[in-house]
Amino acid sequence: MSVDDKILEQDMIAWRRDLHSHPEFGFEEKRTAAFIAQKLREFGLDEVVEGVGGTGVVGTLRRGGGNRSIGLRADMDALRITEQGDKSYRSQTAGVMHACGHDGHTAMLLGAARMLSADGDFDGTVRFIFQPAEEWGKGALAMLGDGLMTRFPFDEIYGLHNMPGLAVGVFQTRVGPIMSAEDNFEIVLKGVGGHAARPHSGNEVLVTACALVTNLQTIVSRRLDPTDIGVVSVTELLTDGTRNALPGLARILGDARSFRPEVSAAIEKQMRLIAEGTALAHNVSAEVTYTREFVPLLNDPALVEEAFAAARDVFPAENIKVRREPMTGSEDFARFLDHVPGCFVFLGNGEGSAPLHNPNYDFNDAGLLHGANFHASIVRRRLGAN
């Protein structure tokens, strides 16, 4: 028996708001995971496993005799941000909030699980993957490291994210790169600090740091091919100085974005050269630590076409869009695509929505049914009818 859309929508709103009120940071999603597991068992899934990759949950639903399987993934974690506003379901956890809509993503996938378990109109296996710790790029790797692909195998995978600025009911995706890699860097400058009144008596590092921050901006503008997309952002400058003392140590932190490994490698190479050269010019030393936290998210061309076909079952034709340009934000959904092909899509969260990672952000409940229906549609299309 199929589920009534109005009843399902109201239930998803209640689930989403409950999750919003009780946000949990990455790998701390114990209440969230328990909530998800309880719902999946209530829906009658064949198997529900908790603790995958720490706090992840995988639900399995089988119908018919088909041997093909699909993964559907939602992220569960919240951010260390203090929520603003006075809505009745605001965060009850000090300093943590769902500022990226993962509460909505989870509710959408729960809704799809309920729909598919009720009508069973497919032939094969669906894996409902609820992932921890997406925000800092460790959750997908943790689930994969815990044997996700061997314990719960699937042939292809789909995921989605809400998008502020797009009207509710708008669907977007694109072939190939859709979200960027994220690299993190830290540059430590070491010199000799001293009295602010006697800069000549030491080799302070603050002027060096300021020069280096400026010099790093030449990587994208002068060292990369203009046809490549790259971003280098310095986000922190920390020193051991004080009002009347020149610092002897400075730390420069930031991140870099790109869509090809060759570009990431070029950014790292140029950063090391610039840091060492700038330090040498100021008679101090530089140490560069460069790490790769997220890999580029590359959509499979054939599965993008399938996603568009599934979207036509859910959205008006005029609301189905090809995204022109990739987004320089990052997503660790990309880690799953090292193992199977997949497709990641964006759904509108409202043109007036606050930005992601903003203390005034809130997931738009009007989009919940769209996401659940899209998940269900892709399963029915890819696994066929029983």
Q: Could you tell me the pTM of the whole model?
A: 0.93
Asked if residues 159 and 342 have their Cβ atoms less than 8 Å apart, the reply is yes
Helical spans, DSSP H, in 193-312: 206-216, 218, 261-281, 301-311
d(CA 310, CA 320): 11
Condensed to tens digits (0 to 9), the pLDDT of residues 138-181 reads 999 999 999 999 999 999 999 999 999 999 999 999 999 999 99
Domain around 37? 5-178+297-383
Q: Are residues 139 and 21 in the same domain?
A: yes
Q: Are residues 203 and 249 in the same domain?
A: yes
DSSP assignment of 124-150, as one string? EEEEEEEES-TTTT-HHHHHHHTTHHH
Confidence at 385, pLDDT banded by 50, 70, 90: low
Bridge partners (DSSP) of residue 172 are 321, 346
Q: Are residues 151 and 220 in the same domain?
A: no
Q: Are residues 17 and 110 in the same domain?
A: yes
Domain boundary among 247, 277, 294: 294
CATH code for position 243: 3.30.70.360
Q: Are residues 309 and 285 in the same domain?
A: no
Q: Are residues 257 and 122 in the same domain?
A: no
Q: Are residues 34 and 134 in the same domain?
A: yes
Q: Are residues 52 and 71 in the same domain?
A: yes
Domain boundary among 234, 264, 294: 294
Condensed to tens digits (0 to 9), the pLDDT of residues 255-293 reads 999 999 999 999 999 999 999 999 999 999 999 999 999
Confidence at 104, pLDDT banded by 50, 70, 90: very high
Domain boundary among 294, 309, 336: 294
Q: Are residues 168 and 213 in the same domain?
A: no
Asked if residues 94 and 23 have their Cβ atoms less than 8 Å apart, the reply is no
CATH code for position 34: 3.40.630.10
Q: Are residues 208 and 322 in the same domain?
A: no
